Amino acid sequence: MSFSINASRFSATRPLHRHGSLIFPRQPSRVFIVRSSLPFPSEKAKYYRELEAAVVERACCLCVDVKKTLFSSDGRVLEKNDQTPVTVADFGVQAFVSLELSRLFPSIRLVAEEDSTFLCSNNLADPVVNAVNDKTNSGDTPLTLATIMEAIDRGKDACDFETKPATYWVLDPIDGTRGFLKGTEALYVIGLALVVEGEIVLGVMGCPNWQENISRKPPIGVVGHDRSLYGSGIIVVAHAGCGTWRKQLPNVDGQTSNPYRWIRCFVDVCSQVFKARFCIPESQSWDSLPLSAIFSATTNADSLGDKQILLVPKCCGSLCKYLMVATGRASVYVQARTLTIIKIWDHAAGMICVEEAGGKVTDWKGSQLDLAADHAEWRVIFPSGGILVTNGFLHDPILEMIASTSSALSLVQGKVTHIPKDLFGTDHITSKHPTLVN
Ligand SMILES: Nc1ncnc2c1ncn2[C@@H]1O[C@H](COP(=O)(O)OS(=O)(=O)O)[C@@H](OP(=O)(O)O)[C@H]1O
Ligand SMILES: [Mg+2]
Ligand SMILES: [Mg+2]
Ligand SMILES: [Mg+2]
């Protein structure tokens, strides 16, 4: 991945696509609109068939249907031993996607978040079996619990990989389950990626409650299902060398307001750090991150002060923040590596969607995330310091700021820290010290 960011601060030449072609930043007039099952010809995309199979529309419908019943019946939500929630929809989506992929590509392994252990010990089996059968073709004989459990567990048996990097799917059936449970506007994402020899070659993100036309409200009097014609739900696909594209999810009646299906996605073109829009994990505070030594943060765009950056509040999940950067709604997503184990499925699909939209993803030292570092199970990644996701233009300036605040932190623990002038344009003194895990 190579972007030509030149040495001077806050100004950058146009980023180069990972395959050398120029990426033009998103211009309102330059919206590429394509009608087809996928937005590029199969001869351009080596993994065209895999991507066609990976488009997770029906899995999104499963989430929407389960969500409607979720609040009408208790006991459908569990807490796993890592204190994170799991629902009928998480299991249902993993079973549904696993069955579909194993039918079409039986030799490609699956690395996925959930396993069936919780299913039976918490009487979720029947609702999961019903949810999956409801989405599979009615002509088939109904799927049994055993078949569905086996499909779910395909996602955990992958740990017997041979030592060399292999070809495998990476699935987060619902990223942002906490948001899914909130029943509000909190985004949640189905994330599926394909890894070949250690490289992510395609990614798909389905976001059933993404508001596409946030600036355009439905005309007065449009209610019920028609509201979903005005932009609820998108599918985003990315393939190495083919860019990132989005289309609206059909509404419950199978219609969309956008007759031209696929629209090209680009990161935003912000090249000045203090004008960037930032996303951070809801479970982490701005003050715990190194950049807080240089900027304070506000969520109020109308009252941005000097040395303040704008935080775009996005609850829950990692992949929705990648979605924000890939579609240009945010410029940066930064996550510290805390004591939480960082799982590959929380990031893989988002990484390629951002990179193919012109952005960049590295750890805080600027290194690519090593997907093969977890030789045992291929499920955990070990980014140094944390993960930085940007629009490409801002990457190196922010890496320098992180490095300078970290080195200042290691040099003068607990005392005043001097941030070099050129990083921020003026001398900047601060005494806040973020906590870092390298
Ligand atoms: N302690 C721990 N161990 C393992 N995994 C964890 C942990 N905390 C958060 N996560 C996963 O990170 C995903 C995002 O977390 P959250 O939903 O809390 O949102 S946020 O990142 O804090 O905004 C979220 O992914 P999903 O479970 O797919 O929603 C969490 O599973
Ligand atoms: Mg989870
Ligand atoms: Mg997740
Ligand atoms: Mg999940």
CB-proximal residues (5 Å) to ion ligand 2 = 84, 177
Rounded to an integer, what distance in angstroms lies between the CA atom of residue 345 and that of residue 381?
Answer: 10
Rounded to an integer, what distance in angstroms lies between the CA atom of residue 106 and that of residue 146?
Answer: 18
Is the minimum distance from the CB of 25 to ligand 1 under 6 angstroms?
no
Residue pLDDT, tens place only, 105-117:
999 999 999 999 8
CA 304 vs. chain centroid, Å, equals 27
- Retrieve residue 410's tokens: 């290691």
Q: Which residue has the tokens 């049994």?
A: 144
Rounded to an integer, what distance in angstroms lies between the CA atom of residue 261 and that of residue 256?
Answer: 8
pLDDT at 166: 82
Residue pLDDT, tens place only, 42-96:
999 999 999 999 988 889 988 888 888 776 655 567 777 787 888 899 999 999 9
- Retrieve residue 126's tokens: 């029947």
Instruction: Tell me whether residue 346 is annotated as binding.
Output: yes
- Retrieve residue 143's tokens: 């799927």
Residue ranges of E strands in 260-359 = 262-265, 277-279, 296-298, 308-311, 332-336, 342-343
177 included as an active-site residue: yes
Is the minimum distance from the CB of 294 to ligand 1 under 6 angstroms?
no
Rounded to an integer, what distance in angstroms lies between the CA atom of residue 50 and that of residue 201?
Answer: 10
User: With contact defined as beta carbons under 8 Å apart, do 166 and 109 qualify?
Assistant: yes
**Residue 343 in 3-state DSSP?**
strand
Rounded to an integer, what distance in angstroms lies between the CA atom of residue 118 and that of residue 103?
Answer: 25
- Retrieve residue 367's tokens: 């290194």
Task: Pick the atom of ligand 1 nearest to 281's CA.
Answer: 23
Is the minimum distance from the CB of 84 to ligand 1 under 6 angstroms?
yes
pLDDT at 214: 53
Predicted structure pTM score: 0.83
pLDDT at 374: 85
Domains of the chain by range and CATH?
16-264 (3.30.540.10), 273-436 (3.40.190.80)
Q: Which residue has the tokens 């029943």?
A: 183
Residue pLDDT, tens place only, 408-431:
555 544 443 444 444 443 434 343
pLDDT value at 17 more than 70: no
Q: Which residue out of 87, 177, 256, 362 is catalytically annotated?
A: 177
Ligand nearest to C-alpha 93: 4
Higher pLDDT, 241 or 408: 241
pLDDT at 254: 63
User: With contact defined as beta carbons under 8 Å apart, do 267 and 392 qualify?
Assistant: yes
pLDDT at 37: 83
Rounded to an integer, what distance in angstroms lies between the CA atom of residue 221 and that of residue 63?
Answer: 27
Distance 52 CA to ligand 4 centre (A): 22
Q: Which residue out of 65, 90, 268, 396 is catalytically annotated?
A: 90
